[in-house]
Amino acid sequence: MNELKLGLLGLGTVGGGVLTLLERNGEAIASRAGTTIRVVAAAVRDAGKARPGADTVRLSTRIETVIDDPDVDVVVELMGGTDAARDAVERAIRAGKPVVTANKALIALHGRELFALAKEHGTTVSYEAAVAGGIPLIKALREGLTANRIHSIAGIINGTCNYILTEMSQTGAAFDAVLAEAQRLGYAEADPTFDVGGIDAAHKLTILASIAFGIPLSFDQVKTDGIESVTAEDLAYARELGYRIKPLAIARRQEKGVELRVHPTLVPERDLLANVNGVLNAVVVRADAASPTGYFGPGAGAEATASAVLADVVDLARRGTDAQMPALGQSADLVDSPRPLPIEEAVSAHYLRLRVADTPGVLNAISGALAEHGISIEAIVQKELPPPVSTTTVIILTQPVPERVAAAACAQIEALPAVSDSVHRIRVEHFDE
């Protein structure tokens, strides 16, 4: 049996997971791939550091040493970041070597150029591990649903945000306290900005939307809101109204184009996504034939992500580069693909929380402002505060309206004399309608 030899760029959490899976499941993987798969070289920061399972791996602190190694058949990029990773992947492509990567930012920001370069040099860039960890979501969209016209993708694709909102909802703790606990447990980075700010999920949604709808990789078109503004108060009010607040990534086809947005979202408590808790990921795809389909599992972690990395490696071993389908599932020159829509054209219902003076006529003024913009109210709740507080909290659920209409109505409400603060707005989605 021939042997496929891997060179890893990075031997941290995921790289260690690759070694572990090959050690534990090597025979089964070889039988599925039709060849033995072995890691022969790895680029690391500290070549003297003890690394379990890496005794037979040639370690180097120079990335180019691994890429240029004539013994390396496939380069596996596990470095993270974009600049150095892009240079490394381009070097591997120019050497004619297939690349497997778990780097969602690299694909979201530079995928188009990398795929074109790979085609020019007769090789491929594979990226199953870049989205949703161990869930085989890329393959499902690109191959399993290839006969479908995709209508929408909605999901939880950042486990850190899901953990934080789950804990806040279940314990009533504040955002900062739960974030600190997530960092202690290793669910959040020391600098959590990419996760809690929605950037990580936006990178992943960029990739999914391009595959599903045939649009260019459009990270700069994704409306991205983080979860930092969600309070325990919001989570409690949402529960009273029969909802959960979840960190969703949504791509939805409209007649004029495709909505691309990442933000905290009210989801009915009966919905599948409302019941996915902790660090788990879940994605629901709606299409015209097989619909809905759901994908649930670990979105990160050493072995989960390594599982997706090795799935791409097995594909390479089994089919070779000549049999690979286009990197984003369809021809890049597809002429009738839709365009990404500006967020102002997105349509959703809204949860509004505002603090108002406890005076006669205030609710009429608020509902009048909404009516002027053609916004119907689904529910309204007034939360009286104990004396001597002279203000009250008002919660409103609206019917779906375009984003620009909701923003204009909120601006008008904020200008009312009785409204003492800005309107806190969270989008609401009903996926079964």
Active-site residues, by number, are: 204
Spatial separation of the C-alpha atoms in residues 358 and 411, rounded to whole Å = 20
Is 178 within 8 Å of 167 (Cβ atoms)? yes
> What count of Cα atoms within 13 Å lies in the side-chain half-sphere of residue 240?
15
The CA distance from 16 to 66, in Å, is 17
In one-letter notation, the amino acid at residue 60 is S
User: What tokens appear for 25 in the block?
Assistant: 């499941």
DSSP 252: E
Cβ 390 vs Cβ 334: under 8 Å: no
Amino acid at 61: T
d(CA 154, CA 252): 8
> Do the Cβ atoms of 398 and 377 come closer than 8 Å?
yes
Q: CB-based contacts of 323: which residues, under 8 Å, 6+ apart?
A: none
User: How far does the chain reach from its first CA to its final CA, in angstroms?
Assistant: 53
Q: What contacts 260, CB < 8 A, 6 or more positions away?
A: 205, 206, 209, 218, 221, 222, 223, 250, 251, 340, 341
Give every CB contact of residue 225 below 8 A, 6+ residues apart in sequence: 198, 261, 262, 263, 264
Smallest CA-to-CA distance from 337 within 212, 221, 250, 249 is with 212
CA distance 25 to 30: 9
Using CA atoms in the order 310, 311, 312, 316, what is the torsion angle rounded to 10 degrees? 90
